[in-house]
Every structure is written in structure tokens, then in C-alpha cells.
Amino acid sequence: MKALQLKRGKEKPIFRKHPWIFSGAFIKLDRSIDAGDWVEVLDSDDNFICVGHFTPGSIAVRVLSYEKLSDKEAFYFQKINAAFNYRQSLNLFDENTNIYRLVFGEGDALPGLIVDNYDGNLVIQCHSAGMQNDVHLIADALKKLPIGISTIYVKHEKEGEFLLGDTGMASALENGNQFLINWQSGQKTGFFIDQRENRKLLGEFSKDKNVLNVFSYTGGFSVYALKNGASKVVSVDLSADAIEMANKNAELNGVSTNHEGYAVDAFEYLKNEAINYDVVVLDPPAFAKRRNAIHNAVQGYKRLNALAMKKMKKGSILFTFSCSQNISRQLFNDTVRAAAIEAKRDIRIIKQLVQPEDHPINIYHPEGEYLKGLVLYID
């Protein structure tokens, strides 16, 4: 491995175990180091500190180990097996749930790597050049896990790649609910696993209720509401393909009679339609994927929530979310509060919602807490 040397004093954040080292921390960046290369990081006195993947950008090194490595294959298996054992110890999968996130980047000490499991169909996303370079080592490590793998699919921005099998879609179970997952053409890895516990909670509020699911994607919240006895559920999403899949998921679970799906713009729907529902879900995509988008994202969240709050009937319940890493929990809460002021409604917080256990937050990497949610009582 080539080495990068830190400026004096810049080793302190690394000793606090934050897994990112920014480019400004180094004396100089060696132009002969390619994106994704493994590098050693040295302090200003040439002492070894850590190894990681290099990226020519703001985050120059993503730390992988604080010990020198000689066997990368063994390293990946140790980390991936530890991630699997963590989930197994928490009973996150059983005969009723075979959908879960197997590897969550920094939360599992593998920054830049996502692996989702859909009943033995593993979908890999590489968010760094280093993980992309090492994807075959990662796949070899995954194959050693005792989980009966039938597919390994790498989801690229343009065209994906099968490293095992050739199946692009299958059904899988979450809390006894069955979902069709399309990892080839679907968003992210095909399903939003991070809302599992929040979907379960919504189900508890849904018996004999009319439910509106906005930004519904393939109908995760909708199916939970219907399976828990909702009188009527309406799914709204701009994507016609997503609505078609939501309809299929309702049929798959035997609850399509009380389901309606509309492929329309969410903001236009909230603006133009009567919102005469007992429960409303607002689960938009990330409005702030970069820090310079925070202001516009805040305005988007405020407008979205105000549109719903103004029209929701007295005594109804709102589930509202942000999955933007760059929007802090406090900022999200403040934005929803501003929407309530604009809507001139009295509102109580029933619950504050988070991401589930298979999306663990590394205590040294608070940026890993990206999913924020509120359950609100509209008075």
C-alpha cells in the first residue's frame, strides 16, 4: 500500500474513531494513488495509524482498519460475518422475516458498502470506488455465510451485474407480509428496508381506518395497513411502475379489495384532493442529498407537511419522515413545527421514529443516523 501522511495535529479525529479522513488533513495527496486504492495513513512522525480506501474528493480516506492488513479476503469475511452475527443475535430474521439489511456501511465498520438480503437474494451497493474495486472479494466473503444464497447482484448506477444466479425479482417476507422485490429496476436495492418497524407501527394505528400513503413506492406501508384491517388505503406515487407493484403486493397479500393506487405527483395530489383520511403517511425521497441542498430541502419538507396538515381532519394521525442524512433530527422537527404554525393546527407528538436495528449507527459516526420520523396527532 502507498502511504499518506497527516499534518501535525490532524490525527486527533482519527483517534476518536471517526471513519472519514478529509483531504485537508493530509500534507499532500499523491497523484499516483488511484480512486479506490488501499492506503496506509501515517501521522506527521511516520507512525502507522490506520488503513482505508482512497477517494480523490472531500472525503479522501474511508477508514477500514486500525491495524495493518495482510489478507484482505480474511478481513472482509471477518467484518461481514460480524455483521451477520450481530443481526442473528438480535433475532432480526426468522420464518416471518427474511428481508433485512446485512451490511450498513459505517454502522458495520465497512464504509461505502451496503448489502441487503431478500430471502437469500443478496443485493450489493458500492458507495465508494474502493468497495467497487473489492466487490468480488466481498462476494466471496458473503458466500461463506450460512444463509443459503441463491443470488448476488451488484447494483450499479447504470447497469447491474450478477455475481451469482440470474434472478432479478422475487418475493420475500417482512413480519409475515409478502412483498415482490425488483432489485434490477427498483429504487435503491428494490425495497426500503429501513421502514420495517415504522410500517409495523402504522399497522397498529390502521384498524377500521382510511389511510393515505403518499410517496408510497411499492406499497410497504399500504400492505401493513390493509393487513391490519384498514377500511381503505390509497397509495400515491409519481411512478406508474411503483403503483403497479403496490397493486401486485396488495393482491399477493389478499387485501387488494380495499386498495387504490394513483400514479400522480404527490404535491399536486395533496393540493387538489380532499384529504379526508384517518391516517396519512408522508415518506418522501431524500430532499437533501448534498449539504448545499439543505435550504431547498427544508422548504420542501415544510411545504409538504403544511399541505397535508391544512387539509387533515380533526383527530387524524400523520406519519411524516425525512431520510436525508444532511437534515438533522432537530432541523426536521423544527421544519415540521414551522409547517404546523403555517397550517394553524394544534398538533401533538405521539412518537419520534428512527431507523431499525439492521441500520446500526456507529457511535463515532453520528452521520449514520439518517432516518427521522414523527407520528403526530392533528387536533
Residues annotated as catalytic (active site), given as ranges: 323
- Long-range CB contacts (within 8 A, 24+) of 145-148: 145/80, 145/81, 145/84, 147/84, 147/117, 147/120, 148/120
- Alpha-carbon span 378 to 201, nearest angstrom: 18
- Alpha-carbon span 143 to 280, nearest angstrom: 41
Q: Which set of grid coordinates corresponds to residue 106?
A: 459505517
The phi and psi torsions of 186 (rounded to 5 degrees) equal -75, 165
The phi and psi torsions of 248 (rounded to 5 degrees) equal -65, -40
Rounded to 10 degrees, what is the CA torsion of 128, 133, 135, 137?
A: -130
Alpha helices in 35-116 (DSSP H): 72-89
Question: With contact defined as beta carbons under 8 Å apart, do 138 and 131 qualify?
Answer: yes
